[in-house]
Chain A
Amino acid sequence: MITRRDFMVSGLTATAAGIVVPPVLAKGVYAATADGIHNDRVLVVLQLAGGNDGLNTVIPYADPVYMAARPTIGVAPDTVVPLSSTVGLNPALKNLKSMYDSGQVAIVQGVGYDNPTYSHFEGMYVWQHADPARRQTDGWLGSLLASELDTHGHPLTGCALGETTVPPEMSAPQATVSVISSGQMYDVAGSAQHRSAAPALYARTPGIYGVLFDSALSTAETGIAAVKQSASTYKPAVAYPTGMRTAGDTAANTLATSLQLTASMITTQPSVKVCHVVLGGFDTHQNETTRQDALLASVDAALGAFMQDIAAHGMAGRVVVMTWSEFGRRIGENGSKGTDHGAAAPVFIVGAPLHGGLYGEPPSLTSTIDNGNLRYTVDFRSVYQTVIRDWLQGDSTSVLGASFPELPLF
Chain B
Amino acid sequence: MNLTVSRLSRRQVLALGAVGAAGAAGAGTGVFFLLPKHGAAGPPLSAAGSDGAWPSPLGSARGLAAHLLRRAGFGYTDAELEAAAAMRYSDLVESVTAQQPEDLPAVASPAGYRDVIVAWQRHMATTASQYPDRVAVFWHGVLTSDFRSAAQQPVVLQQLQTFRLLGRSDLRGLLRAITYDPLMIRYLDLQQSSAAEPNENYARELMELFTLGPGSYTETDVREGARIFSGIRAVLVDPSGTPARLPSPQGLSAQQRVTQIVQLIAQGYSYKGMLVPRLHDSGSKTYLKHTGNIDPEQAIDILLAQDACAAHITRRALVHFCTPSPSASLIASVAGQFRRSRYDITTLMRAIFTSEDFTAATQYRSLVRAPVDYTVAAMRALNRPQLAAAAASAGTAMGQLLYDPPNVGGWPANGAWIASSTWLARLNFAAQATARPLGLPSPSTAQHSQLDGVVGADTRAVYRAAATDADRWYAVLSSPEFQLK
CB <8 Å contact, A165 and B406: yes
B137 to chain A, nearest CB (A): 18
CB <8 Å contact, A14 and B53: yes
A317 to chain B, nearest CB (A): 30
Binds A, one of B234-242, B283-291, B413-421: B413-421
CB <8 Å contact, A3 and B9: no
Besides A5-B8, A165-B419, 15 other CB < 8 A contacts?
A2-B457, A6-B27, A8-B16, A10-B27, A10-B51, A14-B53, A29-B7, A31-B7, A153-B10, A163-B421, A189-B427, A193-B466, A194-B431, A197-B474, A208-B366
List A contacts of B204 (CB < 8 A): 119
Binds A, one of B167-175, B307-315, B335-343, B394-402: B394-402
Complex-state Cα separation, A335 to B10, whole angstroms: 54
CB <8 Å contact, B10 and A174: yes
Q: Does A209 make an interface contact (CB < 8 A)?
A: yes
Residue interface bits B446-468, CB-to-A below 8 A is 1, else 0: 00000000001111011001110
CB <8 Å contact, A208 and B53: yes
Q: List 29 A-B contacts (CB under 8 A).
A: A5-B16, A7-B52, A9-B20, A11-B17, A17-B51, A29-B8, A29-B13, A119-B205, A120-B407, A164-B399, A164-B422, A164-B425, A166-B419, A185-B428, A186-B424, A194-B471, A194-B474, A197-B478, A202-B480, A204-B31, A205-B458, A206-B52, A206-B456, A207-B365, A207-B480, A207-B484, A209-B368, A209-B418, A219-B420
Complex-state Cα separation, A210 to B419, whole angstroms: 13
CB <8 Å contact, B462 and A197: yes
CB <8 Å contact, B475 and A220: no
CB <8 Å contact, B423 and A213: yes
Across the interface, B423 reaches (CB within 8 A) one of A152, A163, A216, namely A216
CB <8 Å contact, B21 and A17: no
Q: Does B362 make an interface contact (CB < 8 A)?
A: yes
List B contacts of A224 (CB < 8 A): 424
Q: Does A321 make an interface contact (CB < 8 A)?
A: no
Complex-state Cα separation, A215 to B389, whole angstroms: 30
Residue interface bits B1-31, CB-to-A below 8 A is 1, else 0: 0011111111111101110110111011001
Known: A29-B7, A197-B474. A209 touches B415 (CB 8 A): yes
Residue interface bits B195-222, CB-to-A below 8 A is 1, else 0: 0010010001100000000000000000
On A, residues with C-beta under 8 Å from B are 1-14, 17-21, 23-24, 26-34, 118-121, 124, 146, 151-153, 155, 163-166, 174, 176-181, 185-191, 193-194, 197-198, 200-210, 212-213, 216-217, 219-220, 223-224, 285, 335-336
Q: Does B443 make an interface contact (CB < 8 A)?
A: no
List B contacts of A193 (CB < 8 A): 466-467, 471, 474
Most B CB within 10 A of own CB, among A120, A165, A204, A220 = A165
List B contacts of A124 (CB < 8 A): 407
Q: Does B112 make an interface contact (CB < 8 A)?
A: no
Complex-state Cα separation, A274 to B8, whole angstroms: 22
CB <8 Å contact, B21 and A6: no
List B contacts of A185 (CB < 8 A): 397, 421, 424-425, 428
CB <8 Å contact, A205 and B422: no
Across the interface, A28 reaches (CB within 8 A) one of B13, B398, B399, namely B13
List A contacts of B132 (CB < 8 A): none
Closest 4 CB pairs of A and B: A28-B10, A10-B52, A190-B431, A220-B420
Q: Does B267 make an interface contact (CB < 8 A)?
A: no
Q: Which of B333-389 contact A (CB under 8 A)?
A: 362-363, 365-366, 368
Q: Which of B43-95 contact A (CB under 8 A)?
A: 49, 51-54
CB <8 Å contact, B415 and A24: yes
On B, residues with C-beta under 8 Å from A are 3-14, 16-18, 20-21, 23-25, 27-28, 31-32, 49, 51-54, 189, 192, 197, 200, 204-205, 323-325, 362-363, 365-366, 368, 396-399, 406-409, 414-425, 427-428, 431-432, 435, 456-459, 461-462, 465-467, 471, 474-475, 478-480, 483-484
Across the interface, A189 reaches (CB within 8 A) one of B9, B406, B431, namely B431
List A contacts of B435 (CB < 8 A): 190
List A contacts of B471 (CB < 8 A): 191, 193-194, 197
Most B CB within 10 A of own CB, among A5, A21, A120, A213 = A5
Known: A32-B7, A220-B423. A7 touches B475 (CB 8 A): no
List B contacts of A203 (CB < 8 A): 458
List A contacts of B21 (CB < 8 A): 9-10, 12-13
B404 to chain A, nearest CB (A): 11
List A contacts of B416 (CB < 8 A): 165
CB <8 Å contact, A179 and B421: yes
Across the interface, A181 reaches (CB within 8 A) one of B5, B27, B418, B421, namely B421
Closest to B20 in A: A9
